[in-house]
Amino acid sequence: MRKPLSMIVAGLALVLSACGTSSSNAGGSPAPAAPITIGVSLSLSGDFSGDGKALQQGYDLWAQDINAKGGLLGHRVTMKYVDDASSTQQVVTNYQTLITQDKVALVFGPFSSLLTIPASTVTDRYGYAFPEPAGGGPKVFAQGLHSIFFVQPAAVEDNLVSYTKFLLSLPSDQRPKTAAYATEDDPFTQPQIDKAKSLLEAGGITTASYKVYPAEATSWDALALQVVNSKADVAILGTQEPDAVAFVKVFQQQHFNPKSIIETTGPDQGKDFADKVGAKNTEGIMVPAGWTSSAKAYGNEKFTIEFVAKYGGAFGDISADAAEAYSVGQVVDQAAQKANSIDNKALITALHSGTYQTIQGPMSFDSVGKPQGGVGVYLEQWQGAQAIFVYPSSVAAAQPEYPKPNWP
């Protein structure tokens, strides 16, 4: 098949820039490698804006670090961000423009499986490696693309497995009898909820309520009231941050105090989540997480210190999204060193072999970019105005609070 002229031009430009690391000037010394631009579509407005801004912080901090040590294989990095407004249509336009008009050397991924799925079809068409921080739903990998790499410890559908193990490990007189489920109709959230529901039902926990609602919903009060009216022992919610906040506020207003509340995302957003629900109202809320500021993973201490120095706040305020974005840069840096190239084809080949160290732990990828052999996804719980690992015991900084304390 004949390649589009834009692909040929972009590829030639990249090859020429990459060759700068080995060419010499008139004096015989190596010429400096040409600077490169990395393009990213981010949700800087719309439903995912909180997550998008956290990803930008992580990407920017990585770019600062890579440039401080001489660049990506000698190429100074500039990040170029385009707002997709949390839209599946705009994210496609953005990556098309970044590649064909802006002619960026590399691309990194956006937030959510919802946006990653259409974006990856564009980047794959042009032969670009697509390392991405937040798109790990089953439909991402069902595409069978060889160019995508999900830089988190586990595929999305397994995110709540640790939570189900925790509940089912409780003594029989403490174990919940009923559970209420509500989830966005979203390729990130619903697979987690459906797998947790299946595992808990198999373990003898009865479903008191189950509701799937449109990802485009703008009001969640009626949905939250359905969970309240179920009087379930535990609430298991497939949320992004806006609906995560809304559910918590309704539960508090209604004095609904289940033994446990877990949300797929929202509580992992650090200070942003705490500010929106009120710091006192975070106590006992759980979220699946593959990263925490106290993790002893490769480079994590340096990351957290630098993050607070650059953006302020405390270690516990850092969003997991920022850590996931930073990890994308880490694996690309190591893959470039392994391939001795920033050519996209070479990076794709390198990323499919070996293991890469990140602040989330070690990463490796199968043929469709699903993470393999990572540290897994653990349980994080808000205790004393900060989110910490509480399960399993091998990583726990404290015992889980169960039952969850009543609202203040």
Q: Which residue has the tokens 């990130």?
A: 188
Examine the pLDDT at 48 and tell me if it is beyond 70: yes
What does the CA dihedral 81, 84, 85, 89 come to, rounded to 10 degrees?
Answer: 180
Which tops the pLDDT comparison, 59 or 375?
59
CA distance 324 to 359: 8
What confidence score (pLDDT) does residue 374 get?
55
User: What share of the chain in percent tops pLDDT 70?
Assistant: 91
What confidence score (pLDDT) does residue 375 get?
56
3-class DSSP state for residue 75? strand
Mean pLDDT confidence for 397-401: 95
In the chain, the domains with their CATH numbers are 5-156+298-363 (3.40.50.2300), 158-289+377-391 (3.40.50.2300)
Give the H/E segment covering residue 182: strand 178-184
| 79-92: pLDDT as tens digits | 999 999 999 999 99
Residue 101 CB coordination number (10 Å): 10
| 171-180: pLDDT as tens digits | 999 999 999 9
* Residues linked to residue 24 through DSSP beta bridges, in sequence order: 30
CA 283-284-290 angle, to 5 degrees, is 110
Q: Do the strands 378-383 and 286-289 form a parallel or antiparallel pair, or are they unpaired?
A: antiparallel
Decide: residue 369, CB within 10 A, 0-12 exposed, 13-18 middle, 19+ buried.
Answer: buried
Examine the pLDDT at 268 and tell me if it is beyond 80: yes
* Residues linked to residue 238 through DSSP beta bridges, in sequence order: 183
List, in sequence order, the alpha helices (H) in 270-373.
Answer: 271-277, 300-311, 320-339, 344-351
Structure tokens at 377: 């996804």
Examine the pLDDT at 24 and tell me if it is beyond 80: no
Which tops the pLDDT comparison, 32 or 218?
218
Structure tokens at 292: 């925490």
pTM score of the predicted model? 0.78
